[in-house]
Amino acid sequence: MKNPLESLVYALEKYPERIEIAPVEKVLVGSARQNAKRPAYVKLAVPDGVVKALRGSADKRRDLLLLVQIPKEVLERSESRIILPGEAV
């Protein structure tokens, strides 16, 4: 598999209409912080096709499912009208 970041950038540039995006808080049905007995986890409600693709055999072609975190600072910069050095395109 290619680098997931490269795959994401390519998909966003070439096929943005085919990408499905759902903020985790919209599909979150359970979560727990880490403790001595188990790791932290999140439980998400997703379509059955997503689960089927994740649990299928490794030799079958699957979609790439990513969990992407965008830092708060980046979100704030995306809403700012001030352009900092290095951000000019």
Q: What digits encode the pLDDT tens for the residues 23-81?
A: 999 999 999 999 999 999 999 999 888 888 887 676 776 788 899 988 888 888 777 77
Q: How confident is the model at residue 88 (pLDDT cuts 50, 70, 90)?
A: low
Rounded to two decimals, what is the model's pTM? 0.68
Of 86 and 89, more confident? 86
Angle at 33 between CA 32 and CA 38, to 5 degrees: 85
Query: Is residue 29 within 8 Å of 43, Cβ to Cβ?
Result: yes
